[in-house]
Amino acid sequence: MDLGQARHWENQSTVNEFLLLGYQEHPALLFTAFLTTYMAILLGNGLIVVVTTWDSALHTPMYFFLRSLSGLEMCYTSVTLPKMMANLASGDPSISLPACTSQVFFLLFLGGAECYLLAVMAYDRYLAICLPLHYMTVMSHRVQMGLVSGSFAVSLPMQLVQIGLIFSLPFCGSNKIDHFFCDIPPVLSLACADLYANELVTYTDSILFVIAPFVLILASYARITRTILRLPSGTGRQKAFSTCSSHLTVVSLFYGSAMLVYLRPQTSDSVKVDKVLSLLYTVIIPLCNPLIYTLRNREVKASIGRLLSRKHSFEVGTG
């Protein structure tokens, strides 16, 4: 952009709020659907946090990482759904520039942390299946804490850089976003400046937080598969695969949607597709995770049964 263009944009009125127009039709129905889904997400993931904390039989590295993932999912979905419901209830689609900035930042920060946390969970399964004799020695509580903390720490600086670049741009003219919440593609579409640096950082971010951890997951499961196929017992192979199936399902859903949103080429239909995909990775996946991990995990189901029976016994005793 030359000096004349820069002065032209400086003379334009700067946008200080956005209008989210992704849910103009059927607001009452959407509000009910979002509220029901949000409560289910909090209940399902909260139950996993409570059960894996309460039951000493689940005080293992695998369930520590699952508890961390469930807590992250509750935070992740809380970035968007409460504001979406507030806009629907009030009929006011506006979101202030600071609120939009916060929304994009926490989506990026928590999303990046989740990518690496899923990679950590794959590494945990690799150690448990491929190196069982050294598993508890290597995966100490200190290492567990370090891996979870590192997943968040590695995401923070890159997302701060990206947020700084995005919201230092001038937003002039239209402030209407055809989306459910503030996200990178719809926000950048309103900027009146050269986006080369932003696009470069976005692709770098995608490589670091989508491609890199995904490659780590693939490498872990390649070693796991090779080890499992060498097991002499069919029952042992089935048991080993079953411990990985829930995590693989979650990885497929999460990375599939993330790659479709951030790595596919932009077309004339991108806005509509992005709106649908955004609900997949911000609403549907956090809703499905507790179902995937409870319905396919005998230990979690047994622990929930013990917790409920203990609560029932307590209520009968006090009654």
Task: Give the pLDDT of residue 6.
Answer: 42
Task: Give the pLDDT of residue 194.
Answer: 85
* 267 confidence band (pLDDT: 50, 70, 90): low
Which uninterrupted H or E stretch holds 128? Answer: helix 97-130
Q: Say which DSSP state 134 is in.
A: G
Among residues of the chain, what percentage have pLDDT more than 90?
A: 42
Listed residue (247, 292, 287, 295) closest to 76, CA to CA: 287
Top pLDDT among 184 and 233 is at: 184
* 11 confidence band (pLDDT: 50, 70, 90): very low
* 15-318 belongs to CATH 1.20.1070.10: yes
Q: What angle do CA 111, 73, 113 make, to 5 degrees?
A: 30
Task: Give the pLDDT of residue 263.
Answer: 63
Q: Determine how β-strand 94-96 pairs with β-strand 17-20.
A: antiparallel
Q: Does the pLDDT of residue 167 top 80, yes or no? A: yes
Query: Of 37-41, 60-64, 248-252, which range is least confident?
Result: 248-252
* Alpha carbons 4 and 7: distance in angstroms, whole number: 5
38-44 mean pLDDT: 95
* Alpha carbons 314 and 319: distance in angstroms, whole number: 8
Top pLDDT among 162 and 312 is at: 162
110-122 mean pLDDT: 94
Task: Give the pLDDT of residue 279.
Answer: 82
* 259 confidence band (pLDDT: 50, 70, 90): confident
Q: Are 208 and 309 in contact (CB under 8 A)?
A: no
Q: Does the pLDDT of residue 8 top 50, yes or no? A: no
Task: Give the pLDDT of residue 265.
Answer: 65
160-183 mean pLDDT: 88
Q: What is the mean pLDDT of the chain?
A: 84
Highest-confidence segment of 5-9, 180-184, 279-283, 307-311: 180-184
What SS3 state is found at 264?
Answer: coil
* Alpha carbons 171 and 158: distance in angstroms, whole number: 22
Domain range annotation of the chain: 15-318
Task: Return left, alpha or beta for 181; rule: phi > 0 is left, psi -120 to 50 is alpha, else beta.
Answer: beta
Query: Of 47-61, 94-108, 111-125, which range is least confident?
Result: 47-61
Query: Of 31-40, 76-85, 270-279, 305-314, which range is least confident?
Result: 305-314
59-70 mean pLDDT: 93
Task: Give the pLDDT of residue 109.
Answer: 95
Which strands sit side by side in the sheet containing 17-20, from one edge to the other? 94-96, 17-20, 176-177
* 232 confidence band (pLDDT: 50, 70, 90): confident
177-201 mean pLDDT: 88
Task: Give the pLDDT of residue 234.
Answer: 66
